[in-house]
Amino acid sequence: MTATTPSRRERLRAETVTEIKDAARRLLVAGGPTAISLRAIAREVGMTAPALYRYFASLDALVTTLVSDLFEDLRAAVADVSAVHADEDPLTRIGHMARGFRRWSLDHPAEFALMFGSPLPGVTPLPQRGPPLDEAGARFGETFFAVMSEHYARRSFAGEPHELPDPALREIFRPYIENFGDRFPPAVIYFFITSWTRLYGMVAMEVFGHLAWAVTDVAPLFEVELARALDQLAR
């Protein structure tokens, strides 16, 4: 089957969409989520605000597309780290990938805030979760889960949380299983999710400056938590 060459009109439209998204990201980086508005984007690209509706149905639609693109940027950054360490064992690779996630987040605080932050009244909100964002987040998550699958194929997980039996865990993690399947037993999902929550929480607090009151350097604390998480997954 021969691919159809985009028409000139289609190419121009795609270029304009890219220009609009780039403008939105520049505004985000310069002024945070509050800086994103149709009027400001229109000024950046030399259009009127109503003209933007020919490309995006609403500001929510534009922000949804922007966040989906940001998830892809983050996924690609983590995947690149994994590729650099492709010859190392899976758990060691996951450690490098977690560090890559932290690095990207610290290097892109405004983007991180739009993707993961809690919206405030009057601030441009992250649109409701739906297929575009769920799919973008799932692609990012799969980057880690694919490497976890390599580890689990080499070594079955023997550990089991004593507090919650498998049936209870299966119900708790039903959304995960529906999105990613049941390639892992509930105990593996439990330890991965709880470990990710601790590591993500530390990164989020670091990005938002919420640990400055207590520590001079978050990196050593992150490394301790990361080592603990990898040790749990290795059992």
What whole-number distance in Å separates Cα of residue 41 and Cα of residue 26?
A: 9
Phi, psi of 212 (to 5 degrees): -65, -25
Q: What is the pTM of this model?
A: 0.88
CA quadruple 43, 67, 31, 126: dihedral, nearest 10: 100
**Closest-CA residue to 111 (of 76, 79, 63, 78):** 63
Identify the pLDDT of residue 119. 54
Instruction: Give tens-digit pLDDT for 204-227.
Output: 999 999 999 999 999 999 999 999
Identify the pLDDT of residue 158. 60
Instruction: Give tens-digit pLDDT for 56-82.
Output: 999 988 998 999 999 999 999 999 999
Element (H, E) at 108: none
Identify the pLDDT of residue 185. 85
Instruction: Give tens-digit pLDDT for 88-123.
Output: 999 999 999 999 999 999 999 999 999 987 654 444
Cα 156 to chain centroid distance, Å, stands at 27
